[in-house]
Structure 1
Amino acid sequence: MDFVVLGPVEIRRDGDVRAVSGRLRRTLLGVLLARANQSVPVDVLTDALWGERADPRAAQRLHLHVHRLRGLLGEPDRVSWGPEGYRLRVAPGELDAERFESLADEAAGIAARHPRRAAEVLRAALDLWRGAPFAELDVPLLGDWAHQLTERRLAALEALYEAELASGPTRAVVAELSGLVREHPARERLHALLITALYRSRRPDEALAAYRTARQRIAAELGLDPGPELRELERRIRAGEPVEPEPDAARRPDAAVPDQLPADISGFVGRDAELAELDSLLSGDSPVPLSVVAGTAGVGKTALAVRWAHRVRDRFPDGQLYLDLHGYGPDQPVPPEEALAGLLRALGLEGTAVPQDLAERAARFRTQLDGRRMLLILDNARTVEQVRPLLPGTASCVTLITSRDALGGLVAREGACRVSLDRPPVADARRLLGELLGDRVAAEPEAADALIERCARLPLTLRIAAELVKSQPGRSIADLAGELADRQGVLDVLGVDGDPHLAVRTVFSWSYQRLDAAAARAFRLFGVHPGHDMDAYAVAALAGSGLRETRRGLEVLWRAHLVDRTPAGRYQPHDLLRAYAAELAASTDSAREREAARDRLFDHYLATASIAMDLVAPYESGRRPKVPLPRGATPPLTTHDEGLRWLDTERDNLLEATRHGRPEFVLCLAETIWRYLDVRGCHDLEITVHTRALNVARKNGDLLAEANARRHLGTAMSRLRTDDEAATDHLRRALAGYRRAGEKELQAATLNNLGILYRTKGDAAQAVRHLELALAVSGPATSWQLRRAALINLAGNLRDLERFEEALGHVREAIDVCGAHDDKPNEANALAVFAELCMNMDMERDEEALRAAHRGLSLARETGYRTIESVCLRLLGSLHRNRGDHEQALGHGVEALALARAVGAADLLSQALNALAATHAAVGRPAEALSHYREALITAADGDNRKELADTRAGMAAVLAGLGEHEQAREHWEQALRDYTDLGLPRAARVRARLDAGLDRRAASPSRVNGHASSASCRSS
């Protein structure tokens, strides 16, 4: 019997293929296969089948579905029942996913010695795939398995092309790699393989174009450079050095090995049984890859995890990862998407290699860990949902989680082993106190035991108490234990005998009372801060004190174990201590004092963010809000990198500040940092910040602030392309708000951005209307940047409407404006529009178009404007095609396409594909032409761009007509005609004339019919 999950779920038996129909049956079989040969608890199965809709009869209904599954299998004993649940017996080799992984592992073992054989094995493994696993089932367990399998497939594809490149000719794999790069543009490894294949095929220009594609994508998304492998490839190619395929960096012996474990715990005693239990998880033939250390606050969960991790770190040669999830305390737990971003960066991923989506980040993380032997410590987790996306998908990695919660869901679904941590016995507590206090414990054994009981045997409180004893050498342990007993009697606490929280609060208060006034106030202020950690500058701002005094107080708190100091010099208390600090602040400081402290902190954040933004984006300093100078010390930020680093470090705190700050602060900070969030690719955070700004503005009735927030929201949402309707609605509402406020230039900026949105949808007439309004409402006094943007965008849309003379006037003015202000990037953009106009107006103007395209290309390359570089290369390809210089045309077209893929805009990519397809058609390669047209069709459809769809259909029709496929050609012409007509484009008349003339004659080259390539839109905000 064979079980098939790499595609539609099937059961194959004796040549009989049985499709598994019904969502519930596919889900049941899928979950049992995911835990093949393991007992799956009933609650796990009922949750997978019905989720929250499960009723008291769910177990009975499950039994019925199991009975039906047994009938489908034809072997009733395949599914057995036991005390721990249902179990599906699967023999070795019966599950296609298992065969796939086995073949992939086999190939990995022989790749270095026999690359050709490894490639054959990998192709056999990949041939098992017939589609996406469990694509139609929304079940977390199956979704995780599907993501893991899909990522393993991508890793196998990368290994395949490594083997192909190592075993011989490379030309055959270029096309396959090009397609993969298009599908997975964030995987730098695929880019490296494609560049290597092109270079070794003696196509160095195309290899460099492919490198520029990767570089542009990384720079455009996050402003970062490519990774070291890609940079080294470019250097070798430019130097003419040989390039050999290198193994994936994740598997290279010289790959960076993360070592994130905190320092080993000093004075650690006891816990021998728990350490042995954790050791046992690694012994035997099948190590347990997931365990949970659960226990009350302050009991020593982190200390146990860190001590064990140091004991076994040699078992994990590929590295150790550590992450504090801040699951408990006044501050917010770390969301899983943020946690994954940090883990991926620790594994060496940069730029666009870190996806935006949570599921994609989780899948990428599993891929990075696949086949590696690593230890992952997830400290202070709050819920199962917080940690489940962070779990590796391979048994070679071991994950240890600490939590106050038992995290039963991980035990039931993921098979985690739970280690329960109780308070240490008296003997171990006495040993710990002896480690901390030395001979004083032996001199006062009874007093030491009394102190231990006063501290409820909690290691955290014992350490703090020991520090207090050491700070008063003239007093006995008995005196201090008695004082602690008196304090316990008067504190207003939970009042439950033996409750460990009573001891915690008492010891904290005892330690706090011995602080001087400045240090005590600094400690309380940690309960006022809304984020996770602070530097000394932020603490000084909270306190309203000098930096030197603040640092002295922080040193006192650190020595007293009341705050922790990170290697980066930042401060954060244990979550119990943070909660206690918040309680003290509420009872000691007035609401006005607490509010004033928080206002000082937020003023500090705003002032420093403004300084950082002046370094990161100086060209916009005049448009940002005027922020008062900081009242206290600020970090010494003097360079672009220092400003960016400060914003990166404080990003989470700034985001939290917008949750708690005064209305005017929220609005001002949102307007100050929006460009940073945009450049960094944090569009999801940008939406969060501007949504908060929008809520504040609406509550205050601030129409101008509401319009600003909506303008930014519309821009951010359009960049994510998740909801164009919502983006358009925000921009329209922003426009209305600016009209009511009389802000003409901001009206024009919004109209410009609306014009861009309409253009991406192919509605040139609406785009022209909005852009003409942008120029009209702003008038001659508008800023040159806004006027330049509107002129370029307007000229491009007028060209689509074939209003060529009007377009020429606008674009010439734009070129003059850019030249007067040394705006080279947008001068390149304007020159590209001018070249397109000349090319489409008259063949006699091709020389003029050629000069403009070359000048535009030069400026685009000088300024790193990859979008316009692609446009100019495409135009040069079309111009050379018109001249009959097909070799030059193909070279420019290929390079333009590579850059367009990197930019990722659907309209730009469709145009590049169409232009290259037209060139292939002109040189007598109809198959290649149709292949590019088909891809352009899909791309334009995905981007919802009807103009590009019509252009593509017209190009396909011309090629099909030339091949004698008249029926298919007519269908494409007719659809193109409908789209052109609906969009009001003059091209409709030529298509109609072509249909009226008949399709039995060989089609002319489509270059003049469909050569209207779009340059980049020019945003004004």
Structure 2
Amino acid sequence: MEPFMGVVLSAVGTVASGALSGAGGEMGRRTSETLFGLLNRARDEQGTAAVAPGRAGGTRADGATGGGRAPTLPVTESEQRAAALWLTEVARRSPDFADEVARWLDEAASLAPGAANGGAHGTVRPRMLPPATGVFTDREDLTAAVTALLEETGRTRGAPAVAVLSGPGGIGKTAAAVNCAHVLADRFPDGALYVDLAGASAETALAPSDVLVRFLERLGTPPAAVPGDEARQRDLYRDRTAGRRLVIVLDNAHSDAQVLPLLPASPDCLVLVTSRRRLDRLVAGTGARHLTVPPLTPEDSVRLLTRIVGDERAAGAEAGVRAVAEGTGGIPLALCTTGARLAVREHLAWERVARQLSERRTGSGGGDGQEEGAAMPEGTPGDPVRLAHDGAYRELAPECAALYRAVAVWPWPTVTVRCAALAAGVEEGEARLLLEQLADVHLLEEVAPERYRFHDVSRAFAHDLAVTEDGHGRMAAAVRRVAVGQLRFAAGADLRVIPSRWRLGPAYAALGRPENRDPEDGGRALRELREERENLAAVVRAAAHHGFDDLVWQLCEAMWGLHLRLGFHEQWVDTHLLGVEAARRSAAEFGDRRAVGRVLVQLAFAYMGLGRAADAERALAQAVAADADCGHHRGQASAVEALGLLHLKQWRWAEAEESFIEAGRVLSRIGQNDEGREDLPRARALLEHHTGRAQAKQGRFDEAVDRFNTALVQFRDLPGGADRYNEGRVYMSLGETHLAAGAVEHALVCLDRAVDIMSAEGAEPQLAYALELRADCHRRSGRVEDERADLRATVPLHERGGDQPALARVRARLAEPEE
């Protein structure tokens, strides 16, 4: 493939995938539509018999028929290759066309994953390592082995150094890896990445996509620039880590497949993986060094115990300390749990604890009857970790023991005070104190202020206790209380993120739209949802597991603002597939039949974010049918409207227009007392705007302008006051349309209004785009100083938003010589 063709093909792929996912915002959309115009022109250059690349027909951009079918968004690899070949061939024959393609390539380059964050990403140094434990003991051999790996000659070129630390639960793999990373930190000046992969089981294990999103953002990539699909996330991650010296700790891995996408591209990186499994495929495929983490020696076990309880507590009790250390089998988690228990209970005798451990291990005290000194499989009653936890649990107050069991009914990623209070059915103040007590005796670990987590061995122990002492009925009730509480939280936060959207579900019934709210409140609510994102996904799975269908689909509805604004598309699809099935089961059992279409529409947007246009279209068709079947006109109109928005992304302008007009017809069926009546004025205004956009892309500028003007009036006349934000969006569309029609002065008038409105609304991404559009108008009119002033005004906006591609684009324009 010739170099120019390769560049064009890469740009086509970037722009096409971004068009569906919404990556790049307004500039991404504009670059996609520029590609449509180029392909449309290329078709005309090739002759009237040509058929443009794409999968479906359509009308010409100027509204005429004939001349072959208009192009549609090239989604598949073959379609993208055909589009790139088309552009290359026409550019080779036409210098003017080649110049336009070159300008488009410059725009597309700023949207490419590798361009995001420009040169600034090298200055971002993540510091994600947890603090090393103050009582860490031994493991010098492991650190020495990792150091030798780093200094080994003959490692595969281009491969990072990878070490896999394996061993049973509680053996200290995490502490060893974190300590090693801290010891070697000076060798990795570009920072440290850390993640707990939650690999105790396939059900709890984090998806690679979730981890890649987290890492990319910590490496300086703006959230809006993170691709939706895992393959492009992986490519961007490799770009971000190339040439950098990072230490990366992938803790508690479940499988090789979970780890492989997270390996960086730089040979100067160190990756430390911990797992209960050997991960032989990773070792064989990457040259990773396998290191087994053994129990501590008796001497180191005594040293660790002494550090935990303090020299004074251990003084004069050498025999007892040795006996306790021996009873824990050299397992650090057992040592820490037992030591914390002794440290908290100053009058608890060493000999008593040693006797309890021995009796339970040998069976003489009612244990499992294993011979003394026999190896104890992980998780069995004679396992040292289980024995240590059992000793600590037996000394808990009843209310503390009950909370310990209650928070273990499901593997929550983290346990918050709210989660614990809901699970145990107590007030948050009491839950806060009980969590602190559990952390004091090492049954829970505090990982952030008022946010705790189990070691997975500890949770398994607590879960077994819950089954035995509480039974499945009480456990299910605890899950339902958590799900109800999380739904109440998510619905309230979602209402603050997007107050004006229509909603379904009893969770919203008692919530009123916030009045006179702080402009920053929506951002705060979104941050709150983001902090609970993984717990919200977990509660959807927990509710689905227990058959709480009414809560499952409502939780999905309440996560709309979170996913619409922040993405996390893989999680979005996973939870909403459960939501669709729950809504269908609920509808079959006299539940809300409207919920099926609602969750399907949200699922379709998740598919769009992943570039899965066919799946999105299928989900929307099912939503339209489901809403039509139950007579839910508002939901049906929303589904048809979403189908039109998908068609817009795919350049299927005529089909998009038909969808928007059909959505309007469905809205007209809503009666005076029907659900959705309140939302009608705003819904109609949005449809007028969408329809105008579809008409403008077909070259029907006069019709589009009429639609936009109607939308402006409708937004201004909304009950309760104008929708200023959407009024500004319409002015932006008017500016774009007048500019495309060559009416520069009309465009300037509209963009002046857009700039004023977006400034007042604090909508900085849209304000920046309006300023860039206005700068284009000034350029066409020869107003060089005005152009440069608008471009300079976008710089702080892009800086605050972390949009490095946009900054690079603007600075390149500002660096152009004045003519």
Instruction: With the length of structure 2 as denominator, give the TM-score of the two structures.
Output: 0.71
How does 1:905-924 map onto structure 2 within 5 Å?
none
Do structure 1's residue 316 and structure 2's residue 188 form an aligned pair? yes
Tell me how far apart the structure 2 counterparts of residues 628 and 797 of structure 1 sit (CA, whole Å): 36
Does the Cα contact within 8 Å between 2:413 and 2:538 map onto a contact in 1? Answer: no
Q: Secondary structure of 1:418's partner?
A: strand
Please name the residue that 2:531 is paired with: 649
Q: Secondary structure of 1:618's partner?
A: coil
Do structure 1's residue 854 and structure 2's residue 736 form an aligned pair? no
Alpha-carbon offset, residue 672 of structure 1: 1.6
Alpha-carbon offset, residue 807 of structure 1: 6.8
Does the Cα contact within 8 Å between 1:831 and 1:855 map onto a contact in 2? Answer: no
Question: For this pair of structures, how many residues does the alignment match?
Answer: 658
Alpha-carbon offset, residue 798 of structure 1: 6.0
Does the Cα contact within 8 Å between 2:282 and 2:288 map onto a contact in 1? Answer: yes
Find the partner of 2:136 among 241, 261, 268. 268
Do structure 1's residue 249 and structure 2's residue 120 form an aligned pair? yes
Q: Secondary structure of 1:281's partner?
A: helix
Alpha-carbon offset, residue 601 of structure 1: 1.0
Read off the aligned partner of 1:743 and give its amino acid letter: H
Please name the residue that 1:463 is paired with: 336
Alpha-carbon offset, residue 404 of structure 1: 1.6
Tell me how far apart the structure 1 counterparts of residues 696 and 211 of structure 2 sit (CA, whole Å): 48
Alpha-carbon offset, residue 679 of structure 1: 1.2
Read off the aligned partner of 2:469 and give its amino acid letter: T
Does the Cα contact within 8 Å between 2:774 and 2:787 map onto a contact in 1? Answer: no
Q: Secondary structure of 1:262's partner?
A: coil
Please name the residue that 1:338 is paired with: 210
Alpha-carbon offset, residue 563 of structure 1: 0.8
Find the partner of 1:369 among 241, 263, 286. 241
Find the partner of 1:754 among 637, 643, 661. 643
Please name the residue that 2:440 is paired with: 559
Q: Secondary structure of 1:291's partner?
A: strand
Does the Cα contact within 8 Å between 2:229 and 2:610 map onto a contact in 1? Answer: no
Do structure 1's residue 704 and structure 2's residue 572 form an aligned pair? no
CA 731–381 in structure 1, closer or farther in 2 if over 3 Å, else same: closer
CA 476–852 in structure 1, closer or farther in 2 if over 3 Å, else same: same
**After superposition, what is the alpha-carbon deviation per residue over 1:486-530, rounded to whole angstroms, capped at 9, x for unaligned?**
334266659583215322222211110001012111211231133
Alpha-carbon offset, residue 536 of structure 1: 1.2
Does the Cα contact within 8 Å between 1:854 and 1:872 map onto a contact in 2? Answer: no
Please name the residue that 2:148 is paired with: 280
Find the partner of 1:539 among 397, 404, 420. 420
Read off the aligned partner of 1:476 and give its amino acid letter: A
Q: Secondary structure of 1:378's partner?
A: strand
Tell me how far apart the structure 2 counterparts of residues 714 and 615 of structure 1 sit (CA, whole Å): 23
Tell me how far apart the structure 2 counterparts of residues 838 and 265 of structure 1 sit (CA, whole Å): 64
How does 1:386-465 map onto structure 2 within 5 Å?
386-437=258-309, 438=311, 443-465=316-338
Alpha-carbon offset, residue 776 of structure 1: 2.9
CA 587–794 in structure 1, closer or farther in 2 if over 3 Å, else same: same
Tell me how far apart the structure 2 counterparts of residues 447 and 835 of structure 1 sit (CA, whole Å): 82
Tell me how far apart the structure 1 counterparts of residues 187 and 707 of structure 2 sit (CA, whole Å): 68
Alpha-carbon offset, residue 579 of structure 1: 0.9
Read off the aligned partner of 2:325 and give its amino acid letter: I
Alpha-carbon offset, residue 270 of structure 1: 3.2
Please name the residue that 2:375 is paired with: 498
Please name the residue that 1:589 is paired with: 470
Alpha-carbon offset, residue 851 of structure 1: 6.3
Do structure 1's residue 518 and structure 2's residue 399 form an aligned pair? yes
Does the Cα contact within 8 Å between 1:297 and 1:576 map onto a contact in 2? Answer: yes
Q: Secondary structure of 1:469's partner?
A: helix
Find the partner of 1:354 among 226, 232, 236. 226
Q: Secondary structure of 1:379's partner?
A: strand
Does the Cα contact within 8 Å between 2:603 and 2:619 map onto a contact in 1? Answer: yes
Tell me how far apart the structure 1 counterparts of residues 685 and 369 of structure 2 sit (CA, whole Å): 68
**After superposition, what is the alpha-carbon deviation per residue over 1:78-98, rounded to whole angstroms, capped at 9, x for unaligned?**
xxxxxxxxxxxxxxxxxxxxx
Q: Secondary structure of 1:620's partner?
A: coil
**After superposition, what is the alpha-carbon deviation per residue over 1:401-425, rounded to whole angstroms, capped at 9, x for unaligned?**
2222122222222111222222222
Find the partner of 1:742 among 608, 611, 631. 631
**After superposition, what is the alpha-carbon deviation per residue over 1:341-378, rounded to whole angstroms, capped at 9, x for unaligned?**
22222222222343323233233223323332222222
Read off the aligned partner of 1:705 and give its amino acid letter: A
Does the Cα contact within 8 Å between 1:788 and 1:814 map onto a contact in 2? Answer: yes
Alpha-carbon offset, residue 175 of structure 1: 9.4
Alpha-carbon offset, residue 329 of structure 1: 5.8
Q: Secondary structure of 2:559's partner?
A: helix
Does the Cα contact within 8 Å between 2:597 and 2:639 map onto a contact in 1? Answer: no
Alpha-carbon offset, residue 618 of structure 1: 2.2
Alpha-carbon offset, residue 186 of structure 1: 4.8
Please name the residue that 2:556 is paired with: 670
Alpha-carbon offset, residue 852 of structure 1: 4.9
How does 1:571-720 map onto structure 2 within 5 Å?
571-620=452-501, 626-627=507-508, 639-661=521-543, 662-700=548-586, 701=588, 703-720=593-610
Read off the aligned partner of 2:353 and give its amino acid letter: L
**Greater Cα shift, 486-495 or 714-723:** 486-495
CA 323–879 in structure 1, closer or farther in 2 if over 3 Å, else same: closer
Find the partner of 2:111 among 181, 185, 191. 185
Please name the residue that 2:44 is paired with: none
CA 338–492 in structure 1, closer or farther in 2 if over 3 Å, else same: farther
Read off the aligned partner of 2:633 and give its amino acid letter: K
**Greater Cα shift, 760-769 or 386-395:** 760-769
Alpha-carbon offset, residue 808 of structure 1: 7.2
Read off the aligned partner of 1:258 and give its amino acid letter: P
Q: Secondary structure of 2:251's partner?
A: strand
Do structure 1's residue 788 and structure 2's residue 680 form an aligned pair? no
How does 1:706-855 map onto structure 2 within 5 Å?
706-723=596-613, 725-758=614-647, 766-779=655-668, 783-795=680-692, 812-821=709-718, 822-827=722-727, 852-855=746-749
Does the Cα contact within 8 Å between 2:196 and 2:252 map onto a contact in 1? Answer: yes
CA-based RMSD of the aligned residues comes to 4.3
Does the Cα contact within 8 Å between 2:248 and 2:270 map onto a contact in 1? Answer: yes
Tell me how far apart the structure 2 counterparts of residues 447 and 617 of structure 1 sit (CA, whole Å): 62
How does 1:158-237 map onto structure 2 within 5 Å?
179-183=105-109, 185-187=111-113
Read off the aligned partner of 1:379 and give its amino acid letter: D
Alpha-carbon offset, residue 611 of structure 1: 2.1
> Which structure is richer in relative contact order (CA contacts within 8 A, separation 6 or more)?
2
Q: Secondary structure of 2:194's partner?
A: strand
Instruction: With the length of structure 1 as denominator, give the TM-score of the two structures.
Output: 0.58
Alpha-carbon offset, residue 286 of structure 1: 6.1
**After superposition, what is the alpha-carbon deviation per residue over 1:591-631, rounded to whole angstroms, capped at 9, x for unaligned?**
2221221111111111111221232222237767544779x
Alpha-carbon offset, residue 580 of structure 1: 0.7
Q: Secondary structure of 1:619's partner?
A: coil
Tell me how far apart the structure 2 counterparts of residues 278 and 835 of structure 1 sit (CA, whole Å): 60
CA 852–753 in structure 1, closer or farther in 2 if over 3 Å, else same: farther
Read off the aligned partner of 1:268 and give its amino acid letter: F
Tell me how far apart the structure 1 counterparts of residues 725 and 464 of structure 2 sit (CA, whole Å): 55
CA 857–387 in structure 1, closer or farther in 2 if over 3 Å, else same: same
Alpha-carbon offset, residue 719 of structure 1: 4.8
Alpha-carbon offset, residue 585 of structure 1: 0.8
**After superposition, what is the alpha-carbon deviation per residue over 1:858-900, rounded to whole angstroms, capped at 9, x for unaligned?**
233332597899799989989998xxx6889x989x99xx99x
Tell me how far apart the structure 2 counterparts of residues 516 and 542 of structure 1 sit (CA, whole Å): 17
**After superposition, what is the alpha-carbon deviation per residue over 1:951-988, rounded to whole angstroms, capped at 9, x for unaligned?**
xxxxxxxxxxxxxxxxxxxxxxxxxxxxxxxxxxxxxx
**After superposition, what is the alpha-carbon deviation per residue over 1:762-820, rounded to whole angstroms, capped at 9, x for unaligned?**
65655454444333332286511111123334455567889899777655533321232
| Structure 2 residue ranges without an equivalent (≥5) | 6-76, 79-98, 512-517, 799-819
Q: Secondary structure of 2:415's partner?
A: coil
Please name the residue that 2:802 is paired with: none
